[in-house]
Amino acid sequence: MSHEFTTERKPMDAALRSYLDALPPAPVSPAASDEETTRVRRAVIEQARETRGSIPGLPNGVEAQDVSISTPTAEAPAPDLTGRLYTPQGAESLLPLLVYAHGGGWVVGSIETHDAFCRLLSEAADIIILSVAYRLAPEHRFPAGLEDLLAAFQWVEANAGSFGGDAKRLLLGGDSAGANLAAVTANRICATGEAARPAGLLLLYPVTDHPSAGHASYEENGAECGLDGSLMKWFWNQYAPDTPPDDPGISPLRLHALPDLPPTLVATAEYDPLRDEGIAYAEKLKKASVTVNHLHAADMHHNFPVHPGTVARFPQSVAALQDFAGWVKNLVR
């Protein structure tokens, strides 16, 4: 994985190609209703988390605690909003914090599916992580998840000291659709001052634009790359079917002028339908004079550094995790 983006395109890792080819298709009938499709896809991704137990070196020295989140200033957070705090053991001083939104197209995924990744990153970066169980579509469409992530960020800011965190070193991040929520929330915070400005922003293969933009990677990597372009379009239809595609609340790439944002890490993968919009957002940040570290995996696919099945198999996933951790440490040491 390179620390500066390059246009080099490598063949997909052969072991990854074999792994993806062996994955069974989601058992969803083309004639299934959106409700049935949602149920089946949630069940499939939750089953995938069972591979967490096979990940070599999964930390035992990270304490995990489920917490309730509340804040009087959020407009409409879920009344039962919860999250999971990951804390490295043995800290002798206040630790930096990361408020994290899991991926899953705003429809699937949970703090359970991202438990292994959060444990690994918490230990590797020596950072407290709050993984947020934000509300999912289609039951809770845009902007419910955004309101929940803002509420969680405000809650951590107000309560960091009670669980050993340093509110002055508070980061925001996520992967895929969760990175979309993180990017939009950061734009909102930095433009309005609704919370303290994040110290850093971690955007892993982010969703930054509506499919109607026609980015080439939707076609190049639209099938047989783990995340199908057609599935991504279905996710969008569950999350924001009635929102204009150019609304920067769902498409941060279309925000006319970015606010003063903190240093940002953007990770992209060559064989990802979201590749081009992630690259474009990194470039947009740079043009706005944001300090950007763009990490590009030239032979990997969407979700490669987070999904338990790939973390257990590919050295690129381990290297990416080390890169993320190193960036966090350098930023908030």
Q: What pLDDT, on a 0 to 100 scale, did the predictor assign at position 1?
A: 40
Residue 9 lies in a domain: no
- For the segment 7-65, what is each residue's pLDDT rounded down to a tens digit? 567 899 999 899 888 887 777 766 688 999 899 888 888 876 655 555 655 666 899 99
Residue 214 lies in a domain: yes
**Least confidently predicted of 225-239, 241-255, 281-295:** 225-239
**Strands (E) located in 176-280:** 200-204, 264-271
- The pLDDT, as a whole number, for residue 203 is 98
pLDDT digits (tens, 9 = 90+) for 171-206: 999 999 999 999 999 999 999 999 999 999 999 999
301 is catalytic: no
Place 221 in a pLDDT band, splitting at 50, 70 and 90.
very high
Span 61-87, average pLDDT: 82
More confident residue, 79 or 66: 66
Looking up residue 129, the CATH number of its domain turns out to be: 3.40.50.1820
pLDDT of residue 259: 98
Decide if 276 is inside a domain. yes
- 7 in a domain, yes or no? no
Give the active site residue among 175, 228, 272, 276. Answer: 272
Q: Of 176, 217, 251, 317, which residue is the catalytic one?
A: 176
Check if 302 is active-site. Answer: yes
Least confident of 27-36, 132-141, 230-239, 244-253: 27-36
Mean pLDDT of all residues in 237-241: 97
Task: Using the predicted structure, report yes or no on whether residue 315 has a pLDDT greater than 80.
Answer: yes
How many domains is the chain built from? 1
Tell me the average pLDDT of the chain.
90
Residue 2 placed within a domain: no
Residue in 215, 301, 302, 307 annotated catalytic:
302
In a domain, 6, yes or no: no
Q: How far apart are CA 67 and CA 86, in angstroms?
A: 11
More confident residue, 46 or 78: 46
Instruction: Please check the confidence at residue 273 and state whether its pLDDT lies above 60.
Output: yes
**Is 1 inside a domain boundary?**
no
Domain membership flag for residue 4: no
Structural domain span for residue 267: 14-332
Which pLDDT does position 5 carry in this prediction?
45
